[in-house]
Chain A
Amino acid sequence: MEKRTVDMQIIGDWVEPGNRVLDLGCGQGDLLAYLMQTKGVAAVGVDLDFSRIAACVRRGVSAYQGDMTTLMRAFPERHFDRVICSRTVQELAEPKAVILEALRVGRALTVGFVNHGFWKNRVAMLLGGRKVRNEVYTTAWFESRPANPVTIADFEDFCAAHGIRVVRRAHLAGNWRDPCPLLPNLLAGYALYDLTRA
């Protein structure tokens, strides 16, 4: 819960008051409800699950039940001031397609993800020789959703290769609270990127 709070604050800092915001994989609408409260955004979320959409409805967050890429394709360029993809990117079937589509419908894109290159993951893999399991990666391989664990270095490479401009980046230490300016791919537990098309 505490970990959640910090990245919500950073995501919120990057949103302008009154922005039109789309949250990809909005869950029960926690983030959007927070942004509506603190920034007065016009929010819409997208998620696959009926019960999560129902939770959004209960708290007054507009949400669309369905596939996020299908949803984005229904919007003209730059319809949203900001698209947010928080803790979702590593579970997408086609992260590249989603990110590029998000940069089409959004003037800006926030991507937040757990850094799989964090040293504890490396050590666990090196010494344990098994799928990393800890506070962040809670499930065994056979009960996990399909995942593409992503590292900060991977993500930086991806942005460079696809002409995506990194406007801001926030690398957080293992506690997901303190800034992590040094060797982020090794030492950062969590990463946030503010992106636009170049």
Chain B
Amino acid sequence: MTDDAEAVSSAPAAARYLAPGDVGLVAPRDFAHAGPFAFRGGQVLPGFTLRYETYGELNAARDNAIVICHALSGDHHCAGWHSPDDRKPGWWNNLIGPGKAVDTRRFFVVCANVLGGCQGSTGPSSLNPGTGRPYGAAFPPVTIPDMVRAQRLLLDHLGVAAVHAVIGGSMGGMLALQFAIEYPRLVRRVLAMATTGRESAQAIAFNEVGRQAIMQDPAWNRGNYALGEGPRVGLAIARMMAHITYLSDASMDRKFGRRKRRAAEVEASAFDVQFEVEGYLRHQGQSFINRFDANTYLYITRALDQFDLEETAGSLEAAFAPVEAETLIVGFTSDWLFPPEQNRALALALLRAGKRATYAELATDLGHDSFLLESEELYGLVRGFLDRPGTPVT
């Protein structure tokens, strides 16, 4: 997911968080699970922490929770502002808030940084209590189902009895689907956008190039580096490359075209930044290394590559057999990372399995990141899906 998908508001900085429809100032919290946690791969952590945010109130029936699942580079901060000085709100602020499509006056919204993440949840950059140093490459391989099982423990901790909906795009869509498979009695609705039941060779290939950029950087040092250090060059290149896959030819052309930096800004060398798009990507790479851990990038891209509902269950229909939730899959025409075809395949398999599933497709030219689009059509679709009184889970 790109950093700039959320438009920066033009309102005066001091007042933006007070805007109507905004959840306002929010603060993350930590959920510490004290018991041992066994990963799919068999390794066990003595406990873990998930950093999360909530907006809205859990109702008396404890059944109005909406779980938001973030994508590869996202985090728990999906709406509101951490401080009045923040440059940008949470990454899905356009969708979530009082009166918005995910209406925090009605719903109790929960969003956690995934297990294996680096924004406050336990991951490779967390300190290994055994050694007093970051886990690094000694962190257990994490899978999408592991992330979901950890979030289930958070929901139990919060007292959530039923989840009104799980919503996510890209990797968040995988998590949402996995939630419905793993916890059919808990989850009433699933809204998965720009996602897939398993990555294509192309998507795995892009992830591999990103991983190689990190691992070929000497500072990676087989995953052993101190906090705040590490393969900054490799991670920046991985991010630059991945960033391209979240956009589209048309959207990049509209945003940058062949525009060049003014001569005064162009530096001496022929290979310094000349085109706007170069400067943009370099900036994306640089800002990413200040907020993201390279080992987490390796672990989570691996989790994405290995996610394969078909292989795990024998077929997509078999994978979806336990699902009780109503499902809405949304594809975007210009998404070439997880293209419409892969989203359609999910909806068709759900329907073959006899489930209530809908496939909707939005014509956009913004590429994979279209799920973050500011679009009344998308808002209306989401609102319609969430608002309808559903069949009670028995």
Q: Give chain A's interface residues, CB within 8 Å of chain B.
A: 20, 42, 44, 50-51, 53-60, 62-66, 71, 74-76, 79
Contact = CB atoms under 8 A, between A and B. Distances in A.
A65 B360 contact: yes
A53 B385 CA distance: 11
Contact of B359 (A20, A58, A64, A79): A64
Given A59-B388, A71-B348, A66 B359 contact: yes
Interface string B296-322: 000000000000000000000000000
Contacts of A54: 360, 377, 380-381, 384
A50 B388 contact: no
A20 B348 CA distance: 15
Interface of B: 326, 328, 344, 347-348, 351-352, 354, 356-363, 377, 380-381, 384-385, 387-388
B361 A56 contact: no
A62 B348 CA distance: 11
Given A50-B362, A50-B377, A51-B377, A64 B348 contact: yes
A49 B77 CA distance: 34
Contacts of B359: 53, 63-66
A20 B354 contact: yes
Nearest to A76: B352
A62 B385 CA distance: 11
Contacts of A79: 352
Contacts of A59: 388
B293 to A, nearest CB: 38
A107 B387 CA distance: 35
Contacts of B356: 42, 62
Given A54-B380, A57-B385, A63 B354 contact: no
User: Which of A60, A63, A75 has most B Cβ within 10 Å?
Assistant: A60
A6 B384 CA distance: 29
23 contacts: A20-B354, A42-B356, A44-B357, A50-B363, A54-B380, A54-B384, A55-B384, A57-B328, A57-B360, A57-B384, A58-B388, A62-B356, A62-B358, A64-B344, A64-B351, A66-B344, A66-B361, A74-B348, A74-B351, A75-B348, A75-B352, A76-B352, A79-B352
A60 B388 CA distance: 7
B171 to A, nearest CB: 23
B324 to A, nearest CB: 14
Contacts of A51: 377
A51 B361 CA distance: 10
A42 B170 CA distance: 29
Contacts, number: 64
Contacts of A50: 360-363, 377
Contacts of B361: 50, 65-66
A107 to B, nearest CB: 15
Contacts of B388: 57-60
A65 B380 CA distance: 16
A59 to B, nearest CB: 7
B262 to A, nearest CB: 42
Contacts of B357: 44, 62
A131 to B, nearest CB: 32
A128 B338 CA distance: 54
**Top 7 A-B pairs, shortest CB-CB distance:** A58-B384, A74-B348, A53-B360, A57-B384, A64-B359, A54-B381, A62-B356
Contacts of B351: 44, 62, 64, 74-75
Contacts of B381: 53-54, 57
A71 B347 CA distance: 10
Given A54-B381, A54-B384, A74-B348, A42 B358 contact: no
Contacts of A65: 359-361
Nearest to B348: A74
Contacts of A66: 344, 359, 361
Contacts of A53: 358-360, 381
B352 A64 contact: no
B106 to A, nearest CB: 16
A127 to B, nearest CB: 44
A189 B239 CA distance: 63
Nearest to A45: B358
A58 B380 CA distance: 9
B367 to A, nearest CB: 18
A64 B358 contact: yes
A60 B358 CA distance: 10
B318 to A, nearest CB: 14
Contacts of B363: 50
A50 B359 CA distance: 10
A59 B358 CA distance: 12
Contact of A63 (B348, B358, B362): B358
A68 B137 CA distance: 49
Contacts of A42: 354, 356
B391 to A, nearest CB: 9
A53 B93 CA distance: 25
A75 B317 CA distance: 11
Contact of A57 (B344, B348, B358, B362): B358
User: Which of A20, A42, A44, A75 has most B Cβ within 10 Å?
Assistant: A44
Contacts of B387: 58
Contacts of A20: 354
Contacts of A64: 344, 347-348, 351, 358-359
